[in-house]
Structures are given as C-alpha cells and as structure tokens.
Structure 1
Amino acid sequence: MRLNWGMIGGGEGSQIGPAHRIAAGMDGLFTFAAGALDADPARGKDFAQRLGVSADRAYGNWQDMLEGERNRPDRIELVTVATPNATHYPIAKAFLQAGFHVLVEKPMTVTVEDAEDLVRTAKAANRICAVNYGYTGYALVRHMKAMVARGDIGKVRLVVAEFAHGHHADAADADNPRVRWRYDPAQAGVSAQFADCGIHALHMASFVIGQEADKLQADFASCLPVRTLEDDAMVNLRFSGGTVGRLWTSSVAIGRQHGLTLQVFGETGGLRWAQEQPNQLHYMPLGKRLQIIERGEGNLSPEADRASRVTVGHAEGMPEAFANIYRDLADTITAQNAGKTPDPAANLFPKAEDGLRSIAAIHAAVTSAAAGGAWTDARPPMFR
C-alpha cells in the first residue's frame, strides 16, 4: 500500500526538488499527495497542480499545509523539507509535533541547540526525523560500509573525504540568487561550503567507518573576497575509534564537477569510491592486486543487493541513491504502522542524531577556523 507523501520547497527551477520527486516515486511506495512548493503562494500552487497534486492539497505555504493535512483521514505520513537552511527547524518541529514523519534536507538546522531540540522532539513524538544525506543510498557505499564492518580491510587507520566542485567559481555569477543565498549568513547560517557539501563528505566517512567525529581542526577561506562565508575548507579530524580523517571541500575548484569521493585505508587493505563513477568500488588488499567491484555483481553484501535495482553493467545514479533513502523510510514507517519490527537493512537512513552531529561539526569548524585552526571538540553537548 502506498504512503501519502508531501513536499515543502523544491519548486519549479529548484536544484533538489526533482531529485526528491523522482526518488519518492521510483519504487511505487509513495503518492505525491500534497505540497507547498514555492515562497510565492500562487506559483507554488500552480506548479503542484501541474505535478498532479489536487487543488485542495496544493498549498500556498507550509503553515496552510500543516493545518490542511493535520486532520485529514488520508493525510500525508511523510513530509520532505527542502527549503533554505534557516527555515528547516521551525517547519520540521511543527510537523513532528503534529505527528508526521519528516525528511529534512541538510543541514538539518543552523544551530546546535535547534538540532538537539529536533532530536528530542522526534523522540517525544515517536516520529522519524531523517536527514537527506542521500549519497549514502548508493549501493556500493553501503557495500563499502559492510566491508569495513566485517573486517575486510582490518582496523581503519585513515579516511580521506572530498567534496570539491567549481560551480561557484565565476565572480560574475556571485549575484545569481541560486548561488548568493548559500553565502548569506541570514539564510545559510554560520557556514557555506562546509555546511553545504563538506558535511556530506563527513557524514559519508562516519557512515562507512562506523565512527563519529570527536574533534577537528579547520581552515576556511573565501577565495571570492565578496563572500562573507567560506567557499573552500580543509578540515582535519579524529574519530571515536582512533581513525585519522582528512576532508577537503570547495566550490571554486574549476574542473571538478561533483567531486564527492571517499578513500578508506585500513591495516590490510584500502577502498576508494567516487560519486561520478558510482558503480565501481576500488578494493586494494595488502600485497595483492587491485580489484574493481561492480554494482550488481554476485556475492555482494545484502546491503548492496537491497540497494540495487538494475542488473550489472547498467548505470545507476543520484536519484536511485535518494530512492534508497525513501525506500528505507517507507519500509520503516509501514512496519511501525503495523506494529512490526522493520527490516534491519532499512535502518540505514540518516537520522536526526546524524544531522545533529553534522551541525555540531559545522560550528566546531567555524570556531576552529576563527581560532587559527585550533583543535576543537566536534561532539554535540548532549553526546559528550
């Protein structure tokens, strides 16, 4: 049975909206039933209806959507929040308190205090608050995690994460509204590039190695001097299991397209995965030849098999990775509704606690960079 799903933000021309709508519909588990898609009420209503949402569920703003959905017998069960960063917290909290499950775009909030409050709110409401670190939905990222967990590369010594692109490098494009808001503290919060892309790389590193960031040391730069917030960052990390972390993120790296890569080096082997070649995982066992693991081939982990939809040799990409997050959520919500225990393999979606740790890392990195790269505690206060 399909679950009703709604979306806030992600309107016409949005960068992220189409990916969510494709992902939510890919496995036939959700019906796009309600939306408040644009800051302009008329434009948002019109676009929602063109996407197939009925007129009475095409809302002008999120407050109207909350009131309109709250008491419907066919109300939405999951709402995706894909609005500018500073609005995530009030929207997510209101829907959680009203008994809806929520998927929030990253960063989950702009302050640590708000992130901790969302963790507590979700727990009190017994609702899911997930965060869209969607790249962890890739089949081979999940296989990478399984390989680390079963000891294929031994104890992890070093993890190197990158998320560097060059799409904000043109100074003439600085006033483009789709670019400008990312460097505006009033809309983006205390960080730009690290909060936008760097925390994807950090979360993926934590997800794969099964460790959390304990402390960090950061250097921020605004390579375009007109920007208040950083467009390049280098961060050193120490993880809870003793692993050393290196992370570089940039939006001015001309020639880099997407740039999300992860390398994990253990005592007996190394792994490398890149989002631009997501169907291959490079595995180098100590003293042996390089192996290239293909998505969809035989004898992969159950986590990788569950996350694959098409046979080996056919490309899968970002919408399919996002769709795995939606599938995890659908399976978990359906099991919860039936009073059953969800499939453990559906428990890989990023949770509010992951979002909180990311916000704490953002603020720690800002503090560290301002202090000339001083080592700073990266843990949220509630987890210390």
Structure 2
Amino acid sequence: MKKVRMGMVGGGQGAFIGAIHRMAASLDGQIELVCGAFSSDPQRSIDSGAALYLPEERCYANYEDMFTAEALLPVNERMEFVAIVTPNHLHFPIAKAAIERGFHVMSDKPATLNLSEVLTLESILAKHDVLYGLTHTYNGYPLVKQAKHLIKQGELGNIVKIVVEYSQGWLASKSDENSKQASWRLDPKKSGVSCCMGDIGVHAANLAEYVSGIQITHLCADLTSSIIGRALDDDGTVIVKFSNGAKGLLFASQIAVGDENNLKLRIYGDKKSMEWSQLEPNTLLLKSNNEPTQLIRTGVGEMCEAAQQATRTPAGHPEGYLEAFANIYLNFVKQIRAHKNGVDCSNQEFDVPSIEDAIRGMAFIENVVQSNQSNEKWQALSLNTQPMEVK
C-alpha cells in the first residue's frame, strides 16, 4: 500500500493555512505532497514549490496547467486529490476543474463564494465518480466525537438548548486590516457576503449541528461592521431554532479584544448538559442537577470508536488543532482507499464533512446576512439560492 498523492492549490510562501494543511496531511505518514500551484503569481508559485523540495516539473505556474499535466501522467504517479487553500472566490472554479478532470477534492471552508456556486458544484459532483471533503477542522477533536456519541446514546436526554460561541480579537482595530489574512477576508469580491460569519460563524454552526445531530431550521441575526469603512461584518449574534424544537444562540466575533481562538459549545438536554472549549480541547464536562460534574479527558477510560481512532497519544499528552486537522485528512484517505477498492462509501460513513455540509454552511452564511437585512424577526433557513448584495 502506497501513500495517497496530494496536490495543492494556494498556500504558497507566507500563507498561514497552506502550511497547516501540509503539516496535518503529513502527520500520519499516509499522504505525500507531489505537486502544487501555490500562488496566483506564476513565479511565486514555482518558487514556493521549490522551497517545499518538489521536483521542478511538478511545480506549476497555475492550477489549470497542473490539472492538465497531472491528468496525463500514469495513474500510479499523478496526484489523487487536490487540497484547495485559496481565498473563497477561487474555491469553486478550482474544485470544478479538479472534479471534471477526475481528481478528488479537499477544500477549505466555506466551500464557495456563494450558495449558487455550491449548488452547482453539487450537480457537477453527481456526474463524476470523485470524492469531495471540507475542512471543518473542529469536528476532528477526539472529545467532540465523544460528545456526539454521548448525545446519540441519549446521555443528555432531549436537547432543549444549544449555545455556541466563537470569538477572536484579531480584527479589533483599523490597523489590523493591513495583514494579508485580513485584506481578502474583508473584500466582498474575494470573501463573499460575510467576513465574520463566513470565516468563523459557519464553523460554530457546523459544530453545533455535528455534535447535537439536529439541524438549524430558523434564525434571527444581528451583524455589525464595527470599524468605519468596513464592507463586511466583524461581529454578530444569531438566535436559532433547531429541527427538534430546541432553541439556541450563536455568537461570533473578530473584534473581541484579547480572545485568541475561543470556540465554545454548550448543549443542554432535559437530563444532562455538556460543555467543550477549543482552548481546552482535551476536556469535556458532563453536568447534571443531581450528580457531581463529570470531567472526561482525552485518552482516559472507555471512549467510542471514533474518539479512539482520533486519539494518537496516551492520556496527559495534549493533542490539539493540528491533530484535529489531521483527523479530517486521515478519514479522507480512508475514504479514497475504499473508493479505489470499489466500495460504495459516503462521507458520513467515513466521518468526512461533505458537499451536504458545504451547502448547509453556505446557506447559513447567506441566510444570516439576509436575516440581518430583514425587518422580520424569524427567517426560515432556505437551501435555495437568492440574489445577494452587500449593504
């Protein structure tokens, strides 16, 4: 059995998330980076590949050349999937081109610039025998998987309320806009109709649905651009209703001074509740009114199979963001190998965020923006695309 061969689009020199993807993909020794088109600048792209010690002929000036050249290589040499780590506006054309060439896709989130594009992507996928995954990284933590398992087993009883918050402080001042990471996220042409909700709010929504097993059906949103001149939101609060009748609150902010990457999830049932924080990812609290709070630690005691498979080190040896990211890639590799062997496999079976998650994510972003622009209190979450504009 050989390593699965990966290509990359984006993530060149100076790019934060590209390096994270490469480290995560290589962590378990199952994936080999064999080629890339790392920048929209041809020379920078080639130089970035050379800095990663790739063969000169596998360092491409652009992704179109890469897909064309890779498709002509022998099957046992060409890349098998591509990781897309560009700004949002490039996700769709790159994914479309890869799928039509027969390459599997692992895309950064959100999947596309808008809902219309991701619905088109779904129809393209239906015509091609390839796999598609999305890096909703926080699903990869062992205790997130254990939390999901406990809820599915009925440990909390009926879910009645969900509170999820994701706060950062890196866009709190006007001067913060000067970074490469900020410039494209605050540009509607590259980021889409939302900055904060599109960047981190969608992670919070996905985590709430993934762990609880129920879906957001209605929402009421209030978004803010806190700095004069910003075209997109940097802070927002969303009241939500879920498919089982539960109520919830989603708060996301990139102007929360002093907060680093503060993602927290609290789920309340009629029997027990649970609490998990990304800043302390190896601890899950299970609480009730009649018993002492139970502190569950990664690698200690009996865990569900998904949590065990997501854990690499003995108890007391902290695992974090890179390992969670790596779990998404590892599960995708398992899915690719099963697909290669003719197994009819789904993303859900292999615990990989799917095109359905991609659609729900884009629908959440656009519906939140529409709700913010509406005078109606409640808006049903629609999976159908509608004309959007930035106000």
Mark yes or no: TM-score above 0.5.
yes
Q: Aligned equivalents of 2:349 and 2:8: distance in 1?
A: 22
Instruction: Specify the SS of the correspondent of 1:125.
Output: coil
Is 1:381 the counterpart of 2:384 in the alignment?
yes
Is 1:333 the counterpart of 2:336 in the alignment?
yes
Q: Is the 8 A contact 2:88 2:112 kept in 1?
A: yes
In the TM superposition, residue 372 of structure 1 has moved relative to its aligned partner by 3.9
**CA offsets, 1:31-53, max 9 Å, x none?**
10011111221112112122121
**CA offsets, 1:103-124, max 9 Å, x none?**
1111101221111111121222
Equivalent residue, structure 2, for 1:370:
373
**CA offsets, 1:45-82, max 9 Å, x none?**
11212212111111111111111111211111111111
Is 1:225 the counterpart of 2:228 in the alignment?
yes
**TM-score w.r.t. length of structure 2:** 0.95
Aligned-partner residue type, residue 143 of structure 2? L
**CA offsets, 1:76-103, max 9 Å, x none?**
1111111111111111011111111101
Is 1:143 the counterpart of 2:157 in the alignment?
no
Is 1:352 the counterpart of 2:355 in the alignment?
yes
Match among 172, 177, 190 for residue 175 of structure 2: 172
Map of 1:115-194 to 2, 5 A cutoff?
Answer: 115-194=118-197
The structure-2 alpha-carbon separation of the partners of 1:341 and 1:129, relative to structure 1 and needing over 3 Å to count, comes to: closer
Is 1:63 the counterpart of 2:64 in the alignment?
yes
Q: Aligned equivalents of 1:139 and 1:373: distance in 2?
A: 40
**CA offsets, 1:262-319, max 9 Å, x none?**
1111111111111111111111134111111000112011110010000100011111
Map of 1:98-113 to 2, 5 A cutoff?
Answer: 98-113=101-116
The structure-2 alpha-carbon separation of the partners of 1:343 and 1:89, relative to structure 1 and needing over 3 Å to count, comes to: closer
Map of 1:190-339 to 2, 5 A cutoff?
Answer: 190-339=193-342
Q: Is the 8 A contact 1:96 1:122 kept in 2?
A: yes
Is 1:39 the counterpart of 2:14 in the alignment?
no
Q: Aligned equivalents of 1:366 and 1:33: distance in 2?
A: 40
Q: Is the 8 A contact 1:183 1:228 kept in 2?
A: yes
Q: Aligned equivalents of 2:173 and 2:222: distance in 1?
A: 22
Structure 1 runs, 4 residues or longer, greater than 6 Å off: none
In the TM superposition, residue 178 of structure 1 has moved relative to its aligned partner by 2.2
Q: Aligned equivalents of 2:81 and 2:267: distance in 1?
A: 34
Aligned-partner residue type, residue 366 of structure 2? H
The structure-2 alpha-carbon separation of the partners of 1:144 and 1:373, relative to structure 1 and needing over 3 Å to count, comes to: farther
Equivalent residue, structure 1, for 2:388:
none
Q: Aligned equivalents of 1:243 and 1:122: distance in 2?
A: 33
In the TM superposition, residue 345 of structure 1 has moved relative to its aligned partner by 8.1
Q: Is the 8 A contact 1:328 1:346 kept in 2?
A: no
In the TM superposition, residue 230 of structure 1 has moved relative to its aligned partner by 0.5
Q: Aligned equivalents of 2:152 and 2:248: distance in 1?
A: 18
Q: Is the 8 A contact 1:357 1:379 kept in 2?
A: no
Q: Aligned equivalents of 2:151 and 2:13: distance in 1?
A: 40
In structure 1, the gaps of 5 or more residues are none
Q: Is the 8 A contact 2:334 2:350 kept in 1?
A: no
The structure-2 alpha-carbon separation of the partners of 1:71 and 1:294, relative to structure 1 and needing over 3 Å to count, comes to: same
Instruction: Specify the SS of the correspondent of 1:48.
Output: helix
Q: Aligned equivalents of 2:346 and 2:227: distance in 1?
A: 47
Q: Is the 8 A contact 2:347 2:354 kept in 1?
A: no
In structure 2, the gaps of 5 or more residues are 386-391
